[in-house]
Amino acid sequence: MKKLFLLAAFSVLFISTSITAQQKRIITLNEAIQLALENNYQLKQAENNLDLAEYRILSEKADFLPSISSSAGYSTQTGQQFVQETLSFTDVTSSGANGRISANLPIFTGFSNILTLRSSERTKLSNEETLKRAKENIIFETATRFLTVLLNKQQLEDAKESLETSKKLLEQTKAQVDVGSRPSVDLYNQEATVANDEFTVTQRENALKLSKLQLIRSLQIDPLLDYEFAVPDFDPESAKNSTSVSRDVNTLVEQALLNRSDIRSSEFNIESLEYQLQISKGSLLPTLSASASLSSSYSDQARDPRTGNTASFNDQFFDQRVNKSLGLSLNLPIFNNWNRMTQIQSAQVNLKNAELGLENTKLQVIQEITQALNDYSSYSSQLKAAEKSLIASEKAFETQQERYNVGASTLIELSQAQTQYFNAQSARTSALYNLIFQEKLLDYYVGKLSGEDIDF
């Protein structure tokens, strides 16, 4: 019975596992982007940095409030102590308690509180823009990998179509060789062509598997499951004649300088560093603060002057030994071993480096957009040329096939026409997907990728 039970349990597990393995999860482009945004660890780190910036702002606001502290203590002391009543030192064991509450309020700190708060606010804005750019990076990388999968998938279909054509031609050639209308060398040549096409199909299958694996890894989903990536509906003519892409470099650069999150992040960071420089300069100014305290104590050696007995705890702690204080404290910095001047110089250098980094980023944006726009125009021209070549090579292949069927053409000529037709198909597919990719690349450089409507 035990063996039968184990066998039944194993069978159920195997069947359920087989059913799960056969199920394919279909993932669209937008779903892939959402998965990448949810699972990417770098994005989670950027979100954590933003939370930390918010906590710092809350801390800086609290610096405007007074700081309040309290303390309490109890002690026992044994040994020679001076006794007032006998005017002599006597071995005594005494106990005492004390309590204190104090408050300190900064009145003037060289504007450091205000400047630090503004600096933290700019840091938070900078982190928000950094988070946006991190999302744009993930969206672009995911879309690129998804597009690579679609390209490899289409090229695999083209290779399979070419293989089927070669196999049909092989059957036709074999029949003609059998009846003696074609030489045996044609059969051998066509068998070699089929083998070469099969090798091409294998290469395309491997490329598709690798691109899928890279996409799955970037999405950080279970690699043991089976996935199918849906091909978006897009019109090649609309991609070829797209009017959404501006051809004016100056317009695109202006949009990028306004939209790019990394540029805005750098600008907010520069503002934060400017406040840091003012904070460093403010350290040369005097500071003023107010303080207040309330304290009291109790000792079992204290005597009531009226009775000569030990004064009660309530009389001492809440009346006789209560101390109150109010005070102002002015601190004037005179010389601190050049530390403050060093801090000022360091803040100036950090600000200059940030400004240089921003200028370099702007120059890089101009170069990226210029190159991407040139590549877009080039790929657009390549697609038009590839489509003309595809139409011509298809007609040439059909003509050679008709001539071959009537014996007016050789197998070598037909194979060359087929190869040219297949190459034209691959060139047209690559040019089309390169054009689509280049359009998304321009959107990325301009800072227009949001992930909400990135369909091709």
Q: Which of 232-246, 351-365, 386-400 has the lowest mean pLDDT?
A: 232-246
Mean pLDDT of all residues in 394-402: 87
Q: Which secondary structure element, helix H or strand E, spans residue 96, and what is its range?
A: strand 88-108
Three-state SS at 352: helix
Q: Say what the pLDDT of residue 292 is.
A: 93
Is the confidence at residue 6, as pLDDT, over 50?
A: no
Supply the DSSP symbol for 69: E
Is the confidence at residue 178, as pLDDT, over 50?
A: yes
Supply the DSSP symbol for 244: S
Mean pLDDT of all residues in 119-134: 92
pTM score, whole prediction: 0.75
Q: Which of 78-82, 153-157, 427-431 has the lowest mean pLDDT?
A: 78-82
Distance CA 288, CA 286 (A): 7
Q: What percent of the chain has pLDDT over 90?
A: 30
Residue predicted with more confidence, 53 or 88: 53
Q: Which amino acid is at 154?
A: Q
Residue-wise pLDDT for 28-87, tens only, equals 888 888 899 899 888 888 889 889 989 999 988 888 888 999 999 988 888 776 666 566
Structure tokens at 5: 């039970």
Distance CA 347, CA 352 (A): 9
Q: Which secondary structure element, helix H or strand E, spans residue 76, and what is its range?
A: strand 67-83
Q: What is the dihedral of CA 305, 310, 315, 321, to 10 degrees?
A: 80
Q: Are 230 and 153 in contact (CB under 8 A)?
A: no
Among 93-97, 127-131, 175-179, which range has the highest average pLDDT?
127-131
Q: Which amino acid is at 418?
A: Q
Q: Which of 12-16, 66-70, 369-373 has the lowest mean pLDDT?
A: 12-16
Number of residues in the chain: 456
Could you tell me the domains of the chain? 2-39+111-285+335-446 (1.20.1600.10), 68-108+286-332 (no CATH)
Q: How does residue 90 score in pLDDT terms, banded at 50, 70 and 90?
A: confident
Q: Say what the pLDDT of residue 17 is.
A: 45
Residue predicted with more confidence, 178 or 233: 178
Q: Say what the pLDDT of residue 13 is.
A: 46
Q: Say what the pLDDT of residue 452 is.
A: 57
Q: Which amino acid is at 317?
A: F
Supply the DSSP symbol for 388: H
Residue 289 burial by CB count (10 A; 0-12/13-18/19+): exposed, middle or buried? middle
Q: What is the dihedral of CA 307, 308, 314, 317, to 10 degrees?
A: 140
Mean pLDDT computed over every residue of the chain = 84
Is the confidence at residue 246, as pLDDT, over 70?
A: no
Supply the DSSP symbol for 305: T
Is the confidence at residue 247, as pLDDT, over 80?
A: no
Q: Which of 143-147, 193-197, 305-309, 441-445 has the lowest mean pLDDT?
A: 305-309
Q: How does residue 453 score in pLDDT terms, banded at 50, 70 and 90?
A: low
Q: Which residues contact 32 (CB under 8 A, 6 or more apart)?
A: 142, 146, 215, 219, 229
Closest CA to 434 of 389, 359, 376, 388: 376
Count how many Cα atoms sit within 13 Å of the Cα of residue 13 in the half-sphere of its side chain.
6
Closest CA to 301 of 311, 290, 293, 291: 311
Is the confidence at residue 243, as pLDDT, over 60?
A: no
Count how many Cα atoms sit within 13 Å of the Cα of residue 420 in the half-sphere of its side chain.
18
Distance CA 258, CA 246 (A): 16
Q: Say what the pLDDT of residue 231 is.
A: 80
Is the confidence at residue 294, as pLDDT, over 70?
A: yes
Is the confidence at residue 379, as pLDDT, over 70?
A: yes
Distance CA 431, CA 7 (A): 56
Q: Which of 117-121, 149-153, 348-352, 413-417 has the lowest mean pLDDT?
A: 413-417
Is the confidence at residue 271, as pLDDT, over 90?
A: yes
Q: Say what the pLDDT of residue 242 is.
A: 55
Residue-wise pLDDT for 331-344, tens only, equals 888 887 788 889 99
Q: Say what the pLDDT of residue 434 is.
A: 86
Q: Are 450 and 34 in contact (CB under 8 A)?
A: no
